[in-house]
Amino acid sequence: MFDVIIIGAGVCGASIARRLSRYKLDILILEKENDVSMGASKANSAIVHGGYAESGKELRGRICYPGRKSFKKLNEELNFGFLANGSLVLAFDEEDLKTLDKLYQMGLENGLDDMEIIDQEKLRSIEENVSDDAIGALYCKGAGVCSPYEYVIALVENALDNGVKLELNSEVVDIEKSNDTFKVETSKGETYESKFVINASGLNGAKVSSMITETNFDIHPRSGEYLIMQKGTGSRIKQVLFQTPSPKSKGILVTRTYHNNILIGPDAIDEEEIDLGTHEERLMEIYKLAQMSVKDDVLNLKEFIRSFTGLRPASSTGDFIIENSQTNGFINVVGIQSPGVTSSPEIARMVEGILVDLGIDLTEDETYNPYRKPIIEYKDLEDFNKVKDLVDLPLGNPDRLVCRCEQVSEKTIRDALNRGIELESFDAVKRRTRAGMGFCQGAFCKNRVLEVMEDEYGHPIENRKFDSEGSGLSRINKKDINEIIKKMSK
């Protein structure tokens, strides 16, 4: 019998689990995929948003800024990678300037104290590679970037260290309630009992909710495609560069990632069905629009290494849904699209408050440890000539470079494999160590990583393919981009 069952190990489920792990509670996370952070939390813009883009009339507008303010301390405790490098919403004409003023006013209403509208001169003094066509910007000093999947992984690892249980490959198929006890059945045929259930299941939010309670909302996928450039390109951009937003999106952005790649995107398309593929027409439109924000030599398709699609779980209400449902004790945390990552610390606090109102006993656990050691930390790559001899060291040598593009050692791989979650795929290691995220995208290191996994775990790794490539997804890759470059040069 658990006190709390959390359905979903994305950013919300992970944040809630870690928040509640400080109390003497029995907590279980159920996740349908083979790893944590496999949905919207894995594939997004990785921005820690300022808190000015949504009105305070909306829940997501009210909790974004409080969430953002938590990230510095969270990163100090969990070491997932956060950089408060600031954001700029660019204006290119008088209408854009009017939009900036509206955003500024919303920011003031939401309590922000670190933003200002700046003119061309100041804009160029803080962002030298911004487009010459930009005539002003809304500058938010405390916004920034993080590594979102590393954030979720860190939250779950810390929660597990503090006693939370995790079951992967466990899709919830039925929920019943009898005598104030919930019974949650999974695809494995297991049934778990709990006093409270928290539905943080992302795109499946409405489906899971309807298993147990009256559900008057829908969740639909809103897709956004992205392009990533090779490591080191991110140093050309100091702040996150937004264009003025639309009703669906915060606009095409150009930003550095935490690990110093350039990331551009996303567009925003409401989908009838889930499509995680990427498409030439959409990516080239994103690339064209992104070029408006920066000088001509900042973006170069020859530096492209990967495209991906993120799916935002957009609710029919247009806002976050965080509530005790009509089935008392079943708490919905759904419709968490942008700024979901930024808001996640505050979402966890809200859910804690709902549980308190429902009568849960929150007794502090004196053994609670909020700290988690990093698997990796940000680093610039060394001159390969200085480290190339490490590539050919034998299996078992901790200094052996398993991945040469990102210079990831065998010691780092083995550390990632022993953090409380048994990893089942190359992609799971990639998200934790960056092995396979470099220029060759795993062509060199995939089998070397799997070799270490099999040596460490003592059994074959059945999923010997990339999660994405092995699933049959159609994604624009470097070969496709090279063909596009040839067409553009004719």
Distance CA 367, CA 22 (A): 8
Task: Find out whether 459 and 450 touch, Cβ atoms under 8 Å.
Answer: no
Distance CA 1, CA 193 (A): 5
- Please state, as a whole number, how many other Cβ atoms lie within 10 Å of the Cβ of residue 85: 19
The packing angle between helices 59-69 and 340-357, to 10°, is 100
Q: Which residues pair with 182 in a beta bridge?
A: 177, 194
The strand pair at 219-229 and 304-315 is best described as: antiparallel
Quote the strand ranges of 27-86, DSSP E: 27-30, 47-48, 82-83
For 483, the token pair is: 């063909």
Contacts of 451 (CB under 8 A, 6+ apart): 395
- In the residue annotation, 49 being an active-site residue is answered as yes
Backbone dihedral angles phi then psi of residue 82, each to the nearest 5 degrees: -140, 135
Apex 10 CA angle, 8 and 13, nearest 5: 60
Task: Find out whether 175 and 185 touch, Cβ atoms under 8 Å.
Answer: yes
- The most distant pair of C-alpha atoms in the chain lies apart, rounded to whole Å, by 72
Nearest to 338 by CA among 58, 69, 74, 89: 58
Query: Residue 354, CB half-sphere, CA atoms under 13 Å: how many?
Result: 22
Tokens 């309807």, located at residue: 210
DSSP annotation of 380 reads P
Q: Is the dihedral of CA 53, 56, 58, 61 positive or negative?
A: positive
Task: Find out whether 431 and 468 touch, Cβ atoms under 8 Å.
Answer: no
Which residue is catalytic, options 49, 220, 259, 279? 49
Categorise residue 436: left if φ over 0, alpha if ψ from -120 to 50, beta otherwise.
left
First-to-final CA distance of the chain: 67
Tokens 């069905």, located at residue: 273
Backbone dihedral angles phi then psi of residue 62, each to the nearest 5 degrees: -75, -30
Tokens 């911004």, located at residue: 130
Distance CA 110, CA 481 (A): 42
Task: Find out whether 65 and 110 touch, Cβ atoms under 8 Å.
Answer: yes
Instruction: Give catalytic residue positions.
Output: 49
